[in-house]
Amino acid sequence: MNVPVSWYLVLAAVLFAIGTVGALTRRNGISIFLSIEVMLNGANLTLIAYARQFESHVGQVIVFFVMAVAAAEAALGLALFIAVFRQRHTIDLNRINLLRY
């Protein structure tokens, strides 16, 4: 039996919502990054599901670009965390509050 495309879309929405909760509630910088990766995967799953529905390659191409941007984001963000850790000796976001308020 074929699975309707909308089931994949619902699964993608659930993944995105889980990632949102993680990015909003966690206080560890690395954990927030991991949650953002889950959100990106939800978005990618939506794009691939619509590529399947419309029989188009454009969705796959966009997912390719999103993966490249995610790789760049992970490299830069982790480098920033290393730089911050050298200065403050923590990446707990409650304690990195120089720009808060």
Q: Measured between alpha carbons, how far is 19 from 34 in angstroms, rounded to an integer?
A: 8
Instruction: Supply the minimum distance, in Å, between the C-beta of residue 26 and other proteins.
Output: 7
**Residue pair 5/49 in contact by the 8 Å Cβ criterion:** yes
Angle, helices 29-54/5-25, rounded to nearest 10 degrees? 160
40-79 positions binding other proteins, by CB under 8 A: 41, 44-45, 48-53, 55-58, 60-61, 63-65, 67-76, 78-79
Instruction: Supply the minimum distance, in Å, between the C-beta of residue 98 and other proteins.
Output: 13
14-43 positions binding other proteins, by CB under 8 A: 14-22, 24-28, 30-31, 33-35, 37-38, 41
